[in-house]
Structure 1
Amino acid sequence: MLADTPEAYWRLGESAGTVAADSSGNGHDATYSGPLLGQAGAIVGDADTAVYFGSSGIIQTGSTGLLPSLDSWTVETWVKVPATGTLMEMVSWYPGGYFWGHGSAYILGISEQGVPTYTLQDVSGNLIILKGPAAINDSSWHHVVGVLDRQGGAVKVYVDGKEVASAPVAALGLIAENGTSLNIGHQYRYWTEASHFQGMMDEVALYRGALSAEQVGNHYDTGRGLSFDSDGDGVPDGLDKCAATPAGSIVDTKGCITQCPSQTSSTAIDTAVQEALAAQSALLAEKDALIAQKDATIASLNADNNLLTAAVASKEDTVAALQREVATLQAAIADKDAALAALNASIAALRASLAEREQAISQLQQQVSALDGTIAALTSSSDAKDQAIARLNSQMSLMFTAAQLDKAVLDAKAVAQQELMAVLVGNLRKVFGDAGFSLPGGTAIEQITSFTDALGKMPAGQIKKLHELTGR
């Protein structure tokens, strides 16, 4: 606090007497009137004491005004207040000992609800009243600061190092100094009401300027012992439950290595380090094992994938081979159908030839009948007999007998059949590659029947070759 050059700083650490010394060096000593001195102070780790205000008591400066007529200032104190439900003033200044209606004033106080308040009034009666959001009358030490910052354009209240309320300062005019004394712990006159502060108070200070939020926070940390670290373990003394921690020790948030020892030997530290290293090694080994397991799993999955790929490829090859075989069978069936069609065509042609020859025989038979009629006519006319006989002989010279004609037709059919079968047998010998191949059967008709039966049993390739040889 002294580093921020207060205008006045009353530590209130006297154990007896009536003088409250000003530690700022500016000579603003104050006078005790009624408070109980020598009480346990607010600052952690500091033997300096505090004062207690009961139902009466006040601390007053001399008749020289403090702070008003300045552009900015700060009022600071530590208080420990029980739950009272009473309007109280901690630090106050106003002219003539009155507040309302008597011009300039500033008051750092506590409301009936127990929340901190900061009240400012200028010479024209313009008023700013700030209230904190939470009560501080909980019988615990609290750091309360009121700031008038004209350069920053705001009035602020801080509690325990944190800003809790603020308001713009533009409407506030001059707060004039008139030599009125400063009151600590009691308002001299509030019209006819006297409002005594009840509770503990310590470390009251005034500054001729606005403290920053960082400065206020540092004051609070210092008061709670949060800025000192005597054993250098990184935990401030105010929070350190294990003093004198050996240098280089690893500590928890309470400043303790394990089980809050007062001092830890180097052997214990070495043991802890070895255990930590062993645990780290175990974790690394576990990590390596997990990595190896992961690699093995990936390799297994890759192998399964390769097998699946090979199976799919094999299946595709099999399907392609089956498709080729189906195509071959379809082609063979087509060739067989074509060969059968060609054979049927040959048989149909043979039957047509036979029909033509039978028609010729029928015509010859008709001519024979005509001859018979001619002979009958000749026998009925004796005069023309010789002439008829001559004509008959002429016709007969051109004709065979009916028996000869029948035999000629049958012989022709037999020759045609034999010629056809000779061609077929010759082609079949080429197909089978067997020069001695023959069709069973004593006649051409029997051989044709044997060939028809054999054709239905022939492979497609042989049928295709036979088709090529016959040209059909």
Structure 2
Amino acid sequence: MIDGAIALALLGALAFSAVTPLTASAYVAKITNSVNTGATASYFSCSAAEAADKANAYFQYYLNEASGALTAVDSSNSVNTGTYRGSMTTSTATPIACPRDSGGAYSLNGTTSYVSTSRIYTNPTSFSIEAWFKTTVAAGKLVGWGNARTGASSSFDRHLYIETTGKLDFGTYSGATQVVTSPAAVNDGKWHHAVGTLSASTGMRLYLDGSLVASNASYTAAENDTGYWRVGYDSLSGWPNSGSGYFSGQLRYAAAYSIVLSQTQVQNHFAAGR
């Protein structure tokens, strides 16, 4: 016979094992993050994001041709073919902007490299300009407007350029220079996405890496002139903290539009290139 105390102990053990599975350990965690958010990007690649806006583009250059190429293909509807000046050298070094797009980035030497466009336009009053870029140099024009197709223009504005301080400027001219400037320097050797927009109703806006970083609603006009869009070089004489007009670094994409890109469009373009 089994002693009563022993029987009670055995029954307790059996009851415990029946409701409690045998495990080596148990773990419960709760993770809370109130800063970062996740979402599905609207476009998977830069080419897809830009294609959605190509109907309003003056030009869209992916600048991903092979080294030695002479022509920058225009992906917009404007047939505004670009010409590589100086030597075209491409780089596929990673990390790279627009990593899900084909080809490499255009490496500009800071002395002779730039792209000229083929079509002439008169006085764009509402516009946006855009570029993906990487540099360690505090100088140079990314995208701009000038009255000369090649060489140094005698009138020039509507440009994104890097100051001698390393900060990014977006500038227009209307009787005087009008400039809005990024709070932080951008010559840190990292890829950045820049967009400048202007219209009479919105004024000037400068976006950096998807965020609006500077604006002035009272700057509503640019110089009334006829000219060409330029990429990677044009004169910056007389502009604040201007330095050399030649950009030294890498460009992955450059474009100009006849409309003001919305903040959502800018953010879509930025997200597609990350």
Pair in the same fold by TM > 0.5: yes
Output the CA distance in 1 between the equivalents of 2:61 and 2:103: 11
1:114 aligns with 2:161: no
* Deviations 1:265-296, CA, capped at 9 Å, x for gaps: xxxxxxxxxxxxxxxxxxxxxxxxxxxxxxxx
- How far the C-alpha of 1:195 sits from its partner, in A, is 2.7
Cα distance change, pair 148–17 in 1 and its aligned pair in 2 (3 A)? same
Cα distance change, pair 174–181 in 1 and its aligned pair in 2 (3 A)? closer
SS of equivalent to 1:132: strand
1:12 corresponds to: 63
1:88–1:186 Cα contact (<8 Å) kept: yes
SS of equivalent to 1:220: helix
- How far the C-alpha of 1:29 sits from its partner, in A, is 0.6
Output the CA distance in 2 between the equivalents of 1:109 and 1:88: 6
Cα distance change, pair 35–80 in 1 and its aligned pair in 2 (3 A)? farther
* Deviations 1:288-322, CA, capped at 9 Å, x for gaps: xxxxxxxxxxxxxxxxxxxxxxxxxxxxxxxxxxx
| Structure 2 counterparts to residues 215-364 of structure 1, below 5 A | 215-224=265-274
1:51 aligns with 2:106: yes
- How far the C-alpha of 1:50 sits from its partner, in A, is 1.4
The amino acid across from 2:245 in the alignment is S
- How far the C-alpha of 1:104 sits from its partner, in A, is 5.9
Structure in which a larger fraction of residues adopt strand: 2
1:157 aligns with 2:206: yes
2:167–2:187 Cα contact (<8 Å) kept: yes
2:172–2:222 Cα contact (<8 Å) kept: no
* Deviations 1:110-161, CA, capped at 9 Å, x for gaps: 0111111011013xx2321111001111111100111113222x20110100
Output the CA distance in 2 between the equivalents of 1:190 and 1:103: 10
Output the CA distance in 2 between the equivalents of 1:35 and 1:78: 20
1:60 corresponds to: 116
- How far the C-alpha of 1:211 sits from its partner, in A, is 0.4
Cα distance change, pair 95–169 in 1 and its aligned pair in 2 (3 A)? farther
The amino acid across from 2:89 in the alignment is L
1:367 corresponds to: none
Structure in which a larger fraction of residues adopt helix: 1
1:328 corresponds to: none
Aligned-residue Cα RMSD (Å) equals 2.2
Cα distance change, pair 173–208 in 1 and its aligned pair in 2 (3 A)? closer
Structure 2, unaligned stretches of length 5 or more? 1-49
Cα distance change, pair 174–112 in 1 and its aligned pair in 2 (3 A)? closer
| Structure 2 counterparts to residues 76-87 of structure 1, below 5 A | 76-82=130-136, 84=137, 86-87=138-139
Output the CA distance in 1 between the equivalents of 2:156 and 2:141: 16
1:30 corresponds to: 82
The amino acid across from 1:182 in the alignment is W
1:186 aligns with 2:237: no
Output the CA distance in 1 between the equivalents of 2:183 and 2:267: 18
Cα distance change, pair 79–190 in 1 and its aligned pair in 2 (3 A)? same
2:128 corresponds to: 74
- How far the C-alpha of 1:48 sits from its partner, in A, is 2.7
Q: Larger radius of gyration, structure 1 or 2?
A: 1
Output the CA distance in 2 between the equivalents of 1:116 and 1:205: 17
Cα distance change, pair 183–71 in 1 and its aligned pair in 2 (3 A)? closer
1:200 aligns with 2:250: yes
1:98–1:190 Cα contact (<8 Å) kept: no
2:82–2:115 Cα contact (<8 Å) kept: yes
* Deviations 1:398-447, CA, capped at 9 Å, x for gaps: xxxxxxxxxxxxxxxxxxxxxxxxxxxxxxxxxxxxxxxxxxxxxxxxxx
Cα distance change, pair 184–116 in 1 and its aligned pair in 2 (3 A)? same
* Deviations 1:178-205, CA, capped at 9 Å, x for gaps: 2x332211125748x8532110001101
Equivalent pairs, count:
212
Cα distance change, pair 8–49 in 1 and its aligned pair in 2 (3 A)? same
The structure showing larger relative contact order (alpha-carbon pairs under 8 Å, at least 6 residues apart) is 2
* Deviations 1:26-53, CA, capped at 9 Å, x for gaps: 1101111124433125202222321001
- How far the C-alpha of 1:103 sits from its partner, in A, is 5.3
* Deviations 1:335-359, CA, capped at 9 Å, x for gaps: xxxxxxxxxxxxxxxxxxxxxxxxx
Output the CA distance in 1 between the equivalents of 2:245 and 2:156: 19
TM-score by length of 2: 0.70
SS of equivalent to 1:217: helix
TM-score by length of 1: 0.42
SS of equivalent to 2:228: coil
Cα distance change, pair 151–60 in 1 and its aligned pair in 2 (3 A)? same
The amino acid across from 1:130 in the alignment is V
Cα distance change, pair 146–39 in 1 and its aligned pair in 2 (3 A)? same
Output the CA distance in 1 between the equivalents of 2:204 and 2:221: 13
Cα distance change, pair 98–35 in 1 and its aligned pair in 2 (3 A)? closer
Output the CA distance in 1 between the equivalents of 2:86 and 2:273: 26
2:204–2:215 Cα contact (<8 Å) kept: yes
